[in-house]
Every structure is written in C-alpha cells, then in structure tokens.
Structure 1
Amino acid sequence: MSCGNPHETPCDHIREHCYEYLDGEMTEEECQRIAAHLAECPPCLAEYERDRALKALIRRSCACEPAPTTLRTQIIASFTSIRSEYY
C-alpha cells in the first residue's frame, strides 16, 4: 500500500523492514528515515500501527512464558508469506 507520492525511502522498504523498526533492530539513522516516512505517509503509518498493535497483543497474550524458537521462526515465516501474497 502506498499513498502514491514519491518518498526518499520507498513504501516497499518500509513494509519490508517494519518489524526490524518495531523491535529496535535498526541503526539510529535507519530509524530516523523510517520515522520521517511514517510522518508523511498515512497508509504506511496505518500499517505500522496495525503491526505494532498486533505485536503488543501477542506480547500480552504470551507473557507467561517465551515461545519456543522453532515456533517463533514458523510464525515469522508465515507473516512473511502472507505479506508477500497480500502485495
């Protein structure tokens, strides 16, 4: 999804790296670039907010014990697969 306007950082890049941004796995410079894009692109901001809310819900629901590594890997792979099919 895109607002149709040109951006310094393309919408595709934002979608591909949203979880890295949410998880704080980016450099300060990368975080600033994504934050700037989100401030000017309502569709990407809406997608980011949805992903943030989903991660928060999962975190609250699973707070009692950590998920096994294999399960986490399968879930992340399915998100990637679903995202690829959606776009």
Structure 2
Amino acid sequence: MSCGDHHDTDCSEVLNEVWLFLDGECNQERKALLQQHLDECSPCLQEYGLDEHLKALLHKKCGGEHASAEFKERLRASIRQTVISQGGVTVEVTETRVETQS
C-alpha cells in the first residue's frame, strides 16, 4: 500500500510493523520513524486507528484469560516469521522483546 506521497518510511513498511508499534515492541529509533510516518500519512494513521481499536476490543473481550507460556512462545515465533518473510526486516530477539531494523 502507498498513499502516493513521499515518506522517509514506506507505507507498506509501516503497516507491516503497526502491531509491533502498538505493542511497544520496536526500538526507540524505529518507533520514532513509525510515529513520524503516522503523523504525516492519513491513510496509514487511519489503518493504525483501526488496528488500535481492534487491539482494545481484543483486550476487553479476552483480557481475563491468560495464555500459557508455550502458547505465547509459539505465537511470538509465528509473528517473528511473518515479520521476517513479509516485512523485509531484521529481527533481533531477546528474552522479553523483539526489535526490528530495516
């Protein structure tokens, strides 16, 4: 996706990483680039808003249940693989965070 305007960070990159941004799982430099893009790009900001509302709804409806550690690790692995295969980014995994770099 592209809004047609020039941005330092491409629209498709931002949308590929919007959930990492929402979850606070990107490094400060990447977070600043994504935030700058969202401030400049209405279509991406609109998509971000939809994802933000979806996350809030999921939290509200599913917030009382806790996933097992095994399920969380499988989910993290799946997300990492998706980001790597679709986002064209490098993923650095630590114990508690996943950081991406373009």
Matched AA of 2:15: R
Q: Deviations over 1:14-67 (max 9, x none)?
A: 011111000000111100000000000000000001001001000000121124
- 1:2 deviates by 2.7
Determine the C-alpha separation between the residues in 2 that align with 1:16 and 1:49: 14
5+ residue gaps, structure 2: 87-102
Distance 2:66 2:26 in 1: 23
Q: Aligned partners of 1:63, 1:16: CA distance in 2, in Å? A: 24
Question: In the aligned structure 2, how far is the partner of 1:6 from the partner of 1:49?
Answer: 21
Bigger helix fraction = 1
Identity rate of aligned residues, in percent? 41
Separation of aligned partners in 2, 1:51 and 1:39: 16
* CA-atom RMSD in angstroms: 2.0
SS at match of 1:52: helix
1:23 aligns with 2:39: no
**TM, length-normalised to structure 1:** 0.76
| Distance in 2 separating the partners of 1:11 and 1:50 | 15
For normalisation by structure 2, the TM-score amounts to: 0.66
* Letter aligned with residue 59 of structure 1: H
Moved over 4 A (4+): none
